[in-house]
Chains A and B, each alone.
Chain A
Amino acid sequence: MTIVILLILLGILIASVVYTIIIYNGLINLKHNIEQTWSNIDVLLKQRYDELPKLVSICQGYMKHEQTVLENVTRARAQLDNAGSGGEVLNANNAITSALRSLFAVVENYPDLKADRAFRQLQSRISQLEDQIADRRELYNSSVNIFNIRIEQFPDIFVANIMKLLPRPLWQIEPGHREDVAIRFSHA
C-alpha cells in the first residue's frame, strides 16, 4: 500500500514538473509572439514610411495652398526618424496616420490631383497598408492582452514571477487622434 502511495506521489510530482515546463514554454512562446507581431507591424510601417516622400512630392505639384497639411506629413515622418523608445515610435506612427487622414480629406478639393494616376495608385497602396497596419495592431494588442492575462493567472503567476515577466503596454491611440479631422478648404 505504501508503495502505491509513493507511486501516486511520484506521479503527481512528475506531472507537476512537466506542467511547469509547459507553462514556462507557453510564457516564452507568448513573449516571443509579442515581439514577432511587433516586428510584423514594423514591416508594414517601413513600407508606409517609404511611400510617404513619393506621396508628398506628387501632392506638392497640385496642392500649392495646402502646405500645412503636407508639412504635417513630413514632420510626422521626421518624428519617426528621431523616435527612440517604443512609445515614441508608437506616437510617431499615430501622428503619420493622423496626418495622412487629413491629407486624404483635403485631396477631395483637388479634382486634378484625384485624377492623377500615380496619386491614385499611391493612395490605394497607402490605404491598403493602413488597413493591414490596423489589423496587425489589433493582433499585437491581442497578443499583449493574452500575455498580460497569462502572467497574472494562477498557476502561471508563479512561473512568471520567477521569470520576472512584466505586463506589456497596449498600442493605444492618443486622445487627440480620436477627434475628427478638421478640414479647411483653401480656394485657389
Chain B
Amino acid sequence: MRSKLSRAIHPIDNKMLKPYTLRETPTEAPTGKISGQTTVLYLPFLRMPNHPEEMIDRLSLASGIHQGDMRYKIVGSGINRLTPVLPPEKQRDFVAEMQTMGIPAVIVAEQMIKRRIKLPIACSVEITDSDLCFFDRNKNPVFRIDKETDLLIIAAELTGKRSRKSLIPPDLAQQFTGPSFTDALRKISLNSPAAIFYRVGDGETVDGVLMDHSSFHYRSMNEYMQMSAAANFRTLIEKAINYSKTCITDNGFSSTTLARISHDENSSKRDILTSLGRYSGYMLAAAESGLITPESKMAADYSYTPPHPDNDADTYDDDRNTAGEPVPPGQANRLNPPPPLQHSGIIARLFATPYEFLYAVFFLLIPFFSIYLQTWDLNHPVFWKTLTTVSLLGAGLVMFPYGLLILTYKRMVENTPTSKVRSMAMGMVEVSGQARQYYDLKTSHSGTQCVYFRCRYFRRKGARFTGRAAFLRYMARDSERWVLEREISSGRLPFYIEDETGRVLVRPSGALFLISKCIQQFSGPFGMWMSSSIQRSDSKIHEDLIAEGARVYVLGKARPEKVGPAISEKISKALQALKKDKKSLMKYDTNNDGRVDLDEWETARKDTENRVYAEMLANGGLQEQIVIGKPGYGMLPLIIADSEEGIIRKLGFRVWTFLAGGMLMIVTAVHLLTQRV
C-alpha cells in the first residue's frame, strides 16, 4: 500500500478524544529491539484538541512533566521527541497513555536516532521498466528501488528556510493545515531541492542515498527528462514512489522542531545537510519502529478537516436560492458547491471576452445590418460613411451615460464610510476584509481553496512541436497559436467577508466584479508550474482565482435574509405528512362517515397551520442572517473589488475613458452627419 506522510502530521478526530476511559492496566508499548538508552518518539496534534485539560493532566501524571510544558509538547508539526528523557518505566506509562488517547507514540533506542549514517551521493539514475537505480560519481550502483522495496523518501529544500508553525491559536490552526506532499513537492522542487531515499528495514543496517539537485545529472533520466530541472526532480520522486512496494513520503524538514536540528537561511550547505542527516535519522527510526507506516491511515491522511456535527456533505445551496443554509459565523461548516459551469469552443471564448468589447461589437453590427438591409449593396458610396456615423453616434450615446453612471458609482464608493461587520446597519454598506469560503470550493485543476475560479484549457493549434522547435516557439511567445478549448468556472457563488469583528455573507449575483484575480499557469514542459498531470507540450492551463483569505472590498446593500425553509413550505410538508398518516387524519372525521370531507379537511388544514406556527414561535421564530447583495431597485450597485483605493482607481480610469470617448464619438458622428447634409 502506498501512502504519504506529509510532515508526519496525523489527523485525529476530536470525537475520539472526548469519551476515553481510564486505563486499568497499561498497554504494552511497542519497543522493538531496544537495548541501552531509550527515548520516546511521537506524532503530536497539529492543533489543540477541544478538551485537552484531562489529557494534559494524565500525560503530566504519567511523565512527571509539568502541565504547562505538556501543553506545548502535545501540539506541533511533524515528528517529535519527548524531552527531558524519562526513566524507562515512565516512558512506558507515557507511551501507553498517548496510545490510549490516539496519539501515535513509540519507544526507540537512542542509538537508532544517533547512529552515524553515511549516505552515498547519487549523481545519475537509470530508469528501466522494472526498477530504478541510482549511481554515484564513479558509475557504481548505490541504491536500487524495485517492487520489493519499502521506501522512505524525505524531500527537503537546502535553502535553510524554516517554517515553524508552533503557537498558532487553536481556533485558527485548522486554516494552517499545510499542503499535501504533492503540493509541497512543487514548492520544494523550485528551490534547491534534495531528497533522501531509504530502504525501511529491520533497523540493523541502513541502506539509502542522498540525491542533491546541484550534483545530480538529470540527463541520465533519458526519455523522462524535461527542460525544467524542477519538473525533473518531481518526476524522479514520482518514479521512485511508483517503483517501490510501499512508500512513506515526508516533507517536514523545514518545519521540524526537533532538538539539534538548527539551521537558517544563513547556514552553509554543509550545515543544512548535517541537519537533514540528523532529521532523516529520526524519520528512519520512526519508520523502522512502526511509528509511521504506509498502512497507517492516521499518518497517511494528511489533509485533515475537523469534523462538524452539522456538516451534511450531500447538500449544497444554489446561488439562486436566497434562503441559505444556516451557517453560524466562525464555524467550519462548508457546503459542497454546485457543479461548475463548463463551456467549450465559441461559448467559452464568448465568456472570456470583456463585456465592454461585446457591447462595442453589438453597436457596430446593428447599424451594419440595418443599413445593408436598406441598400443591399456594400459598394454603395454612402454605405460605409452612413455606417460609421450611425455606429459612432450609437456607441457615443451609450458610452457617455455609462461613463456618468460609473462616475456616480465612483463617488458612492468615495462617499461611503467603511463599516465593521459587528455593527453594520441595514442598507447600503461598505465592508472591507478577507474572503472566506461559504462552499468548500477548489479550483478544478490545482485544487486550490478559493471563493471563485475560472480555469481555461488551451491547446496549441496545428502540429505538435518537440525538442528545439518547441523551445524556440515557446521563447518567441508564440501565443497566437494557443486555442481555448474548454473553460470551467465556479460561477459567482456566495462567500463570506470577514474583518476583525465578524463575518457576513456576500451574494455576488449581479455585482460589478472588479477584483484582481490571482493567476496560476500550468503549462507544458517549460513552465515553472509544471503539473505532473500535463505531459504534453501542446497544452496549457490558466487558473484565475480569488483565493481563500484574499483581500476583498464590498459595497452593497445589507439586508436580513430568512434562513431555512419558508413557512409555507413547512405547512405544505406537514399537510403531506398528515395525509399519509390515516390514523391522525381520521381524527378530523367528526361525522364518522369514514372519510374526511371538505369542511373536515379545512379544519385539519387550519389545525396544522396553527401547529406549525406554534412550533416556529417556540423555536424562536424564523431565523435570519445578514447578507450583502445587490439592491433590489434603482441603479444602486453591488461592487466587489480588492480595496477601496483600487476600485476608485479602476473606476476613475473608466469614467474618463467613457466620458471623453463617448463625447468624442458623438461630436464626430454629428460632424459627419452635418457634412452629408
B-contacting residues, A1-55, CB 8 Å = 3-4, 7-8, 11, 15, 18-19, 22, 25-26, 29-30, 33, 36-37, 40, 44
Given contacts A7-B671, A11-B663, A139-B417, contact A22 B422 (CB under 8 A): no
Establish whether residues A22 and B408, one from each chain, have CB atoms under 8 Å apart when the complex forms: yes
Cα–Cα distance between A146 and B415 once the two chains are bound (Å): 6
Establish whether residues B671 and A139, one from each chain, have CB atoms under 8 Å apart when the complex forms: no
Establish whether residues B414 and A135, one from each chain, have CB atoms under 8 Å apart when the complex forms: no
Establish whether residues B411 and A26, one from each chain, have CB atoms under 8 Å apart when the complex forms: yes
Establish whether residues B666 and A40, one from each chain, have CB atoms under 8 Å apart when the complex forms: no
Binary contact readout A140-155 vs B (1 if CB under 8 angstroms, 0 otherwise): 0011011000100000
A-contacting residues, B449-508, CB 8 Å = 501
- A124 lies within 8 A of chain B by Cβ: no
Binary contact readout A143-180 vs B (1 if CB under 8 angstroms, 0 otherwise): 10110001000000000000000000000000000000
Establish whether residues B667 and A7, one from each chain, have CB atoms under 8 Å apart when the complex forms: yes
Q: How many whole Å from B400's CB to the nearest CB in chain A? A: 8
- What residues of A have a CB within 8 angstroms of the CB of B427 in the complex? 36
Q: How many whole Å from B668's CB to the nearest CB in chain A? A: 9
Given contacts A3-B674, A7-B671, contact A139 B663 (CB under 8 A): no
Chain A interface mostly = helix
Q: How many whole Å from A174's CB to the nearest CB in chain B? A: 22
- B448 lies within 8 A of chain A by Cβ: no
A-contacting residues, B653-668, CB 8 Å = 659, 663, 666-667
Establish whether residues B423 and A132, one from each chain, have CB atoms under 8 Å apart when the complex forms: yes
- What residues of A have a CB within 8 angstroms of the CB of B663 in the complex? 11, 15
B-contacting residues, A128-143, CB 8 Å = 131-133, 135-136, 138-139, 142-143
Given contacts A18-B404, A131-B423, A135-B420, contact A26 B667 (CB under 8 A): no
- What residues of A have a CB within 8 angstroms of the CB of B420 in the complex? 135, 138-139
Binary contact readout B264-283 vs A (1 if CB under 8 angstroms, 0 otherwise): 00000000000000000000
- B416 lies within 8 A of chain A by Cβ: yes
- What residues of B have a CB within 8 angstroms of the CB of A37 in the complex? 417, 425
- What residues of B have a CB within 8 angstroms of the CB of A145 in the complex? 417
Query: Which of A19, A37, A132 neighbours the largest number of chain B CB atoms within 10 Å of its CB?
Result: A132
Given contacts A18-B404, A22-B407, A36-B427, contact A142 B417 (CB under 8 A): yes
Binary contact readout B411-442 vs A (1 if CB under 8 angstroms, 0 otherwise): 11011111110110101000000000000000
Establish whether residues B423 and A33, one from each chain, have CB atoms under 8 Å apart when the complex forms: no
Instruction: Kindly count the residue-residue contacts between A and B in the assembled complex, taking CB atoms under 8 Å apart.
Output: 63
- What residues of A have a CB within 8 angstroms of the CB of B671 in the complex? 3-4, 7
- What residues of A have a CB within 8 angstroms of the CB of B670 in the complex? 3, 7
Cα–Cα distance between A5 and B556 once the two chains are bound (Å): 42
Cα–Cα distance between A150 and B414 once the two chains are bound (Å): 10
Cα–Cα distance between A133 and B425 once the two chains are bound (Å): 12
Establish whether residues A136 and B417, one from each chain, have CB atoms under 8 Å apart when the complex forms: no
Cα–Cα distance between A136 and B411 once the two chains are bound (Å): 22
Cα–Cα distance between A126 and B409 once the two chains are bound (Å): 37
Cα–Cα distance between A105 and B315 once the two chains are bound (Å): 49
Contact partner of A142 (CB less than 8 A), chosen from B407, B418, B422, B501, is B418
Establish whether residues A135 and B407, one from each chain, have CB atoms under 8 Å apart when the complex forms: no
Q: How many whole Å from A109's CB to the nearest CB in chain B? A: 29
Contact partner of A135 (CB less than 8 A), chosen from B415, B422, B659, is B422
Cα–Cα distance between A132 and B421 once the two chains are bound (Å): 10
Cα–Cα distance between A19 and B420 once the two chains are bound (Å): 32
Can you list the 10 inter-chain pairs with the closest CB atoms, starting with the nearest? A142-B417, A135-B423, A132-B423, A135-B420, A40-B425, A26-B411, A11-B663, A136-B423, A143-B417, A4-B671
Residues of A at the B interface (CB closer than 8 Å) are: 3-4, 7-8, 11, 15, 18-19, 22, 25-26, 29-30, 33, 36-37, 40, 44, 131-133, 135-136, 138-139, 142-143, 145-146, 150
Residues of B at the A interface (CB closer than 8 Å) are: 404, 407-408, 411-412, 414-420, 422-423, 425, 427, 501, 659, 663, 666-667, 670-671, 674
Known: A37-B417, A133-B423. 10 other contacts (CB 8 A): A30-B415, A131-B422, A132-B422, A136-B423, A139-B418, A139-B419, A139-B423, A143-B417, A146-B417, A150-B415
Question: What are 7 A-B residue pairs whose CB atoms fall within 8 Å in the complex?
Answer: A3-B670, A25-B408, A26-B412, A36-B427, A37-B417, A142-B418, A143-B417
